[in-house]
Structure 1
Amino acid sequence: MIAAQSERCHVFVMKIAEQVTFGGSGLDRAAERRGKLAAADFESADFIVLWRGKVLIEDAALVRVGETHPILNDPKHPPVFLGVDEGKLIFAVDISNWEPETDVSDLDTFADKTEQSHPSLPDSNIFVELRLHMAKFFARDAELAATAKAILGWHETHQFCSKCGHLSEMQLDGWQRDCPACGAHHFPRTDPVVIMLITKGNSVLLGRSHGWPDGMYSLLAGFIEPGETMEAAVRREVFEEAGIEVGEVGYLASQPWPFPSSLMMGCYGEALNDQIKVDPEELDDALWCTREEMAEVFAGDHPTILPARKGAIAHFLLENWLADRLD
């Protein structure tokens, strides 16, 4: 598959592994323009809007508004420059100061199905939980949404200098925070996570976390610790959570995961034993699932197992493992 990065006229070969949700759109982030934008750049730009971590959409597309739209009148933070799309500068704005009249008790829950409409917009424009809609977006909108959610979330939770505690200030159009008191510079964080396709023969290892919906299983995952390689993290996490020792480990694909700021590193691993011993503090359950059973899972015909969430890298890896086309 050949894809063009239109803003810089680069051409590259896109592997299947790059087609995971939130990745592969080739957005021109135009980092060289950060901190150098003029007022006229804002006047001709498009703005995507987030509210308390939820994205503004119409049907399956991000809503874009101009700088003078009334929804931007009370931003919580200055706009963040995301990049250039088809010649247009794109910014993200957080309007979390707005208080809707509808119920917001489900905010930040595992599957918030509530939708909010802003009075300055048509009823068809709604704020939605990104997890529930991520698989519906075209690649460019998905990358913009993930980037906006992650970096605006960072600004929300990292407003104070971690060195001296003073309130820091946004710089470089959102890609840095500087402390006026001690001079420290702070940059957006990304937390590396391994997520593992662990196989033994014809079977793959699945697990479920506490509090997940009944029947929902996924691949095992965990954060990489300081001083640890990706391969070592795979072996440690799988043994800690399920008592399975892992031999050969390799890399398959990655996915930006803005919940709130992870980079999921999809790996494969070969199990050296098959006797599962679940750590009850880590997992609710774990099991081996054969290819034949996984085919039933994806078809919706399995009596007890539901597929991983569509759009998540676990779903992507399992789907391509089942089709025998991981590259």
Structure 2
Amino acid sequence: MTARPLAFTGCRIERADHVRADPEALAGHMTWRARLLALEGMMPAVDEEGRLAWRTLADAAEDAELVFLGLHEGRGCFAAVPAEGDASPRMANPQLWSLMATLAPEDLALYGGARSLVDWHARHRFCATCGGRTKLAKGGWQRNCESCGAQHFPRTDPVTIMLVEHEGRLMLGRGLGWPEGRFSALAGFVEPGESIEEAVAREVFEESGVRVRDVTYVASQPWPFPSQLMIGCHSHADDDELAIDTTEMAEVRWFTREDVAAALAGSHEASFTAPPPHAIAHHLVQRWLEQ
């Protein structure tokens, strides 16, 4: 992989599970020294230097649910759960798209984790078992039902995102509703009872009609829209004949190394637009070209 870190990775906050699990220890960090991540709904506020803005716990609403993000230089870091979550794709918010390109990597990683966590709380105020109200527990890394006592935990949905190679060419696809010319790696959720390798093979076949083999893991990336873990893989195909699922894909095509190089270079003569640098698909394509 390229030395450039993947977006949303590299958070410098210590998660401090020993503090989450100890009410007295947690209370000991909820002092005037604690920091509160400044959020406007689900969007972060930034200071005059373009870094994440922080407040004190005194700035939180009186009835706010405060999630413990962890410790930074010995200080407790918290975020308040918003009134509503946001499960919309990041493309629906141009401001968020711009933010992803301008925030410092460590700030983007911290915001991504906090966004996933507070979004989960905002959308899980009621118990999936009995429908009763839930309350925040373990510093925000759990919710307990006040009626039946069921325990609920923040979830991360695994998604395979994979390159398919055949005789020196790369398969990429354009999803429904994507801009003309924008291509990326195929992707799909891992389903119950599947291994990563099986999910890669199934998703590629469903979307392109191509059978793959020799699936290998490359890298992973947390993706907080709303809370996914992108599992980057590489695979090989023995046949290049396409049978595209038009209910999911607008186009699926094979590209040569020259095509890929031109797209990554941003050439005006490129045959497609490459995935943006903050997406793991960009790193997968770059790695393939370098090899």
What TM-score, normalized to structure 2?
A: 0.89
- Asked if 1:132 corresponds to 2:95, the answer is no
Pick from 67, 82, 91: which aligns with 1:110?
Answer: 91
Q: Which amino acid aligns with 1:323?
A: E
Distance apart, 1:178 and its partner CA: 0.3
Secondary structure of 1:249 counterpart: strand
2:6 maps to what in 1? Answer: 20
Contact kept, 8 Å, 1:18 with 1:254, in 2: the verdict is no
2:247 maps to what in 1? Answer: 281
Runs of 5+ consecutive residues of structure 2 not aligned to the other structure: none
Equivalent residues in 2 for 1:2-41, closer than 5 Å = 19-35=5-21, 36=23, 37-38=26-27, 41=30
1:223 maps to what in 2? Answer: 189
1:62 maps to what in 2? Answer: 52
Secondary structure of 2:65 counterpart: coil
Contact kept, 8 Å, 1:244 with 1:277, in 2: the verdict is yes
Distance apart, 1:309 and its partner CA: 2.1
Secondary structure of 1:259 counterpart: coil
- Asked if 1:47 corresponds to 2:43, the answer is no
Percent of aligned positions that are identical: 39
Q: Per-residue CA shift, 1:99-123, capped at 9, x if unaligned?
A: xxxxxxxx8672423xxxxxxxxxx
Q: Which amino acid aligns with 2:5?
A: Q
1:316 maps to what in 2? Answer: 283
**Aligned residue-pair number:** 283
2:219 maps to what in 1? Answer: 253
Q: Per-residue CA shift, 1:210-258, capped at 9, x if unaligned?
A: 1112221110000000000000000000000001110100101000111
- In structure 2, C-alpha distance between the alignment counterparts of 1:259 and 1:224, rounded to whole Å: 16
2:69 maps to what in 1? Answer: 82
1:252–1:60 distance in 2 versus 1, CA, 3 Å: farther
Contact kept, 8 Å, 2:120 with 2:154, in 1: the verdict is yes
- In structure 1, C-alpha distance between the alignment counterparts of 2:90 and 2:11, rounded to whole Å: 28
- In structure 2, C-alpha distance between the alignment counterparts of 1:276 and 1:309, rounded to whole Å: 25
Distance apart, 1:303 and its partner CA: 4.3
Secondary structure of 1:169 counterpart: strand
2:78 maps to what in 1? Answer: 91
Secondary structure of 1:110 counterpart: helix
What TM-score, normalized to structure 1?
A: 0.80
- In structure 2, C-alpha distance between the alignment counterparts of 1:216 and 1:20, rounded to whole Å: 20
- In structure 2, C-alpha distance between the alignment counterparts of 1:17 and 1:171, rounded to whole Å: 38
Q: Per-residue CA shift, 1:138-173, capped at 9, x if unaligned?
A: 332122111111011111111110000101111111
1:7 maps to what in 2? Answer: none
Distance apart, 1:34 and its partner CA: 0.7
Secondary structure of 1:33 counterpart: helix
Q: Which amino acid aligns with 2:228?
A: S
Q: Which amino acid aligns with 1:132?
A: S
- In structure 2, C-alpha distance between the alignment counterparts of 1:268 and 1:40, rounded to whole Å: 44
Contact kept, 8 Å, 1:74 with 1:95, in 2: the verdict is no
Secondary structure of 1:232 counterpart: helix
Secondary structure of 1:227 counterpart: coil
Contact kept, 8 Å, 2:11 with 2:110, in 1: the verdict is no
Runs of 5+ consecutive residues of structure 1 not aligned to the other structure: 1-14, 98-106, 114-127
